[in-house]
Amino acid sequence: MYRILSACHKFNPAGGQGAVNAIQDAIALANWINTLNADSTWDETAKVFSEYRSERHPWAQHAFTDSQVMSKLVAMNFMGRVARYAAKNMPVWLQRAAFSRIATNRPQVAYLPLAPDRGQTKAVKQNSLIKTQKILAARAKNQQQ
């Protein structure tokens, strides 16, 4: 699964965004696939992939932009040197602001106990987690009846 998801993104390898997004994609997709039954219809399967795409596409776009910035930081030319100088001398408050968006996306799988959120920045709402937990809870309630 990692190779498939990693191949979906065209990131510069310098920032590690491809690996991070492959893991986050796998978690979101696993949450949705876990809601499918063995006899799920094509429409139900298509809805799962649509939900997955609507959640992950904006994050992948942001990561792609971040990857482009990282490629400028590692460039061995004048602009790369200027970018590295600016990054090294950036005020701490600006560094925190720049990294806070990256640190807010901490996906969790719906079918395992949740890890406590102890980050300094609050994790963003993970649609696949919230929606699939509701689906799984409703399914468990129906099975008990």
What is the reported pLDDT for 22? 85
DSSP string, the chain: -HHHHHHT----GGG-HHHHHHHHHHHHHHHHHTT--TT--HHHHHHHHHHHHHHHHHHHHHHHHHHHHHHHHH-SSHHHHHHHHHHHT--HHHHHHHHHHHHT-----TTSPPPP---SSPPPP-HHHHHHHHHHHHHHHHHH-
Give the pTM.
0.75
What is the reported pLDDT for 28? 92
Q: Distance between CA 93 and CA 72 in Å, rounded?
A: 22
What is the reported pLDDT for 94? 87
Nearest alpha carbon to residue 101 among 121, 85, 83, 82: 121
What is the reported pLDDT for 6? 46
What is the reported pLDDT for 131? 92
What is the reported pLDDT for 3? 45
What is the reported pLDDT for 8? 59
Local mean pLDDT, 10-residue blocks, the chain (145 residues): 51 74 89 91 92 89 80 82 87 83 82 86 87 91 87
